[in-house]
A and B are shown apart, each in its own frame.
Chain A
Amino acid sequence: MDIPYTVTARPDTGLFNGKLGIWLFLASEVMLFGALFSSYVLLRVGAETWPRGETILNVWMAFLNTVVLISSSVTMVLAWAALKTNQFQKSRWLLISTFLLATVFLVVKYFEYTEKFSHGLLPSTNTFLAIYFTLTGLHGLHVVGGMIVMAYLFGPGAKMFRIAPERFTNRVEITGLYWHFVDLVWIFLFPVLYLL
């Protein structure tokens, strides 16, 4: 039994199944982060005092991380483009680079977190830090999720390229869409938490 439109697009919708699936998934993610951002706004508006992010957080580390994540989005697109022109090895290296950039992001985040902890700045300290740790923590989990998928794609999942190259290319594309979303969330988080 074959499920139709796993690889090719259905003419009247113009999409293959996975692509519609990821867009819907991202819509729900928008609602998830949207709800958290709204909570942030509500809490901040209701607060008597609210620290400016830069007085507590390390803006330069976050800026570095922004650059790292944006670069990883670029390598991700290139990995997909390489597959489109049938350059499997190149694509694989680009995927690995994306993975490594994501690792850099997490390592920087780790240093940020431990530095806060060592100064006794915890989620329970105040509402600003509570929001900061919750939002960046959740975002970090999304980064980890993306890395697991990438590891699968350049690791055991890569053999699909030989049997079903188009399907594999689609998988990379979908992962890419997810990854850009993760990137985009960070681009919101950075100014909201560190600069405003």
Chain B
Amino acid sequence: MRISKGALLIVIAFIAPLIVELRTVLAWVNVELTVLESVVLGIGLIGVILVWALWPQSQSNGTESAETK
């Protein structure tokens, strides 16, 4: 674990506003996502975050996440 479980939950929750707002912002540059595409993108992002968070700590040099529990 690279971050605490609590922090992980919050980061995942954060995907909601990100995806929701991203759709509007992208439309401004003429990229129109459908709902389905947004949902897939959101799930994909959550997957990436999970992989990042759960990746064994030993892989990284672990300089800055000393507080992880």
Q: Do chains A and B interact in one complex?
A: no
Binding site for B on A (CB under 8 A): none
Binding site for A on B (CB under 8 A): none
